[in-house]
Amino acid sequence: MLKFEYMEKYGYEQLIYLYDRNSGLKGFICIHNTTLGPALGGTRVWEYENEEEAVLDVMRLARGMTKKAACAGLNLGGGKAVIIGNSKALRKDTVKREAFWRAFGRYVDSLGGRFITAEDVGTSPLDMNLVKMETDHVMGLPTTSGDPSPFTAHGVLKGIKACVKEEIGTSKLEGIKVAISGVGHVGAVLADLLHEEGAILYISDIDEEALKEVSEKTGATIVDKDIIHTLDVDVYAPCALGATLNDKTIPYIKAKIIAGSANNQLEDTNKHGLMLHELGIVYAPDYVINAGGLINVYQEKIGYNKEASMHAIDLIYDRIREIIRESKDSNTPSYLVAERMAERRIEMMSKISSIHIATK
Ligand code: NAD
């Protein structure tokens, strides 16, 4: 990958290499766009095969955060950090762990607030507490807005309701069949919420214990993970991995609606987004429906208030309905409607920045 070429193509601002010989820290921070505000994105620890794979991931994820914040109406830009390593191995030596995360915190601090980070795959609240020792530009700590997953699940529920209203014409979820792939932090809470609303659930996971627990609590039917997307249900909710909507799965999907929390659900955004549209399947764009966690963390920036946060997350319902309607009215795939929504807001807001506010 020619990095400057890639940066030019997608409008990136900054890519930072992180290296600390002492603690073994190796990673990247990518700032995609700060038109709307500081770039907020979690820090991911992953055993990447090589440097190239990590760079591509951090850049792709940072761009996704720009779109997510823009569509959610937040004054935030998009960024992300990825660290090459094994999260379990990193936790073994407590002294090294402290040095590792404090070194990372110093890098974050050196950006002077252009980048704000939080927990993500492979990082824990304790890691972020260590980062906090070096910088104030870290959010989502246990003592602040906390675990984002229940908020993400609440937003996904609202998104599902919006899709059901538009596609099936009912405001109630009673008797609506939903297949959830992945009952982890988000999927398990989503199952609870759907169960409370009277939905009929089918669940799959690779974790037998998680399946048993959710099934006992909600009466969900356990299904093999390789066939969950083929079920004759109303809603298919991918809540595990990314890229599960692809050439191999889409032809077998019978659900009228796809609405779940997983990031980057479309393996090839343009190709598979169009494929779903042509098949008449309503697809709730992932970064719009799964923005609840980000919306909640953002409240820290303006003074955390759980009630205000839940109210802001409820608006996912209106946003998803607007996207579906626009998609139908203009015969445009929903992923493209959402992208245009994000781009339009960024463009409009970049223009008001020419109005200078007088300061002393
Ligand atoms: P998690 O790791 O807690 O849960 C994922 C679950 O998927 C696990 O139970 C895992 O065993 C299961 N799984 C893995 N491979 C599977 C497979 N092949 N088939 C079925 N299940 C499988 O993660 P999470 O925090 O619940 O997040 C779920 C998804 O939502 C991820 O894609 C994440 O990026 C996205 N997301 C999460 C949040 C959040 O607030 N946690 C916010 C936005 C997006």
Average pLDDT, the chain: 96
Question: Any idea what the CATH number is for the domain that residue 44 is in?
Answer: 3.40.50.10860
- The number of folded domains in the chain is 2
Residues 114 and 203 in one domain: no
Residue with tokens 């889409």: 250
Does a structural domain hold residue 140?
no
Does a structural domain hold residue 72?
no
Residues 102 and 155 in one domain: no
Residues 163 and 254 in one domain: yes
Residues 221 and 95 in one domain: no
Does a structural domain hold residue 286?
yes
What's the order of all strands across the beta sheet hosting 221-222?
A: 221-222, 200-204, 177-181, 235-238, 257-258, 282-283
| Structure tokens belonging to residue 358 | 């007088």
Does a structural domain hold residue 245?
yes
**pLDDT value of residue 1:** 79
Tell me the pLDDT band of 2, cut-offs 50, 70 and 90: confident
Average pLDDT, stretch 22-30? 97
Residues 326 and 192 in one domain: yes
**pLDDT value of residue 265:** 96
SS3 223: coil
Of 67, 68, 80, 132, which residue is the catalytic one?
80
Residue 359 reports pLDDT greater than 90: no
57-99 pLDDT, tens per residue? 999 999 999 999 999 999 999 999 999 999 999 999 999 999 9
CB 65 within 8 A of CB 118: no
SS3 148: coil
Q: How far apart are CA 66 and CA 55, in angstroms?
A: 17
Look up 80 and say whether it is catalytic: yes
Helix/strand number for the chain, H first, E second: 14, 11
Does a structural domain hold residue 354?
no
Range of the domain at 16: 3-63+77-132
| Structure tokens belonging to residue 304 | 């955390």
Choose which residue among 57, 149, 224 to substitute to test ligand 1 binding: the one with the highest number of ligand atoms within 8 A of its C-beta: 149
SS3 29: strand
* Nearest C-alpha neighbor of 71 from the set 318, 329, 272: 318
Residues 191 and 281 in one domain: yes
Environment class of residue 145 by beta-carbon count within 10 Å: exposed (0-12), middle (13-18) or buried (19+)?
buried
CA of residue 315 to ligand 1 center, whole Å: 23
Does a structural domain hold residue 349?
no
Identify the residues whose C-beta falls under 6 Å from ligand 1.
148-149, 152, 181-187, 204-207, 210, 225, 239-242, 261-263, 290, 293
Environment class of residue 81 by beta-carbon count within 10 Å: exposed (0-12), middle (13-18) or buried (19+)?
buried
Among the listed ranges 107-111, 225-229, 302-306, which one has the minimum average pLDDT value?
Answer: 302-306
Tell me the pLDDT band of 215, cut-offs 50, 70 and 90: very high
Residues 106 and 169 in one domain: no
Residue 281 reports pLDDT greater than 90: yes
Does a structural domain hold residue 103?
yes
Average pLDDT, stretch 296-306? 92
Does a structural domain hold residue 358?
no
Residues 290 and 238 in one domain: yes
Residues 121 and 167 in one domain: no
Residues 169 and 127 in one domain: no
In what helix (H) or strand (E) does residue 120 lie, and over which residues does it extend? none
Question: Any idea what the CATH number is for the domain that residue 162 is in?
Answer: 3.40.50.720
Average pLDDT, stretch 250-256? 98
Residues 178 and 244 in one domain: yes
Closest residue by Cα to atom 1, ligand 1, is: 184
Residues 337 and 268 in one domain: yes
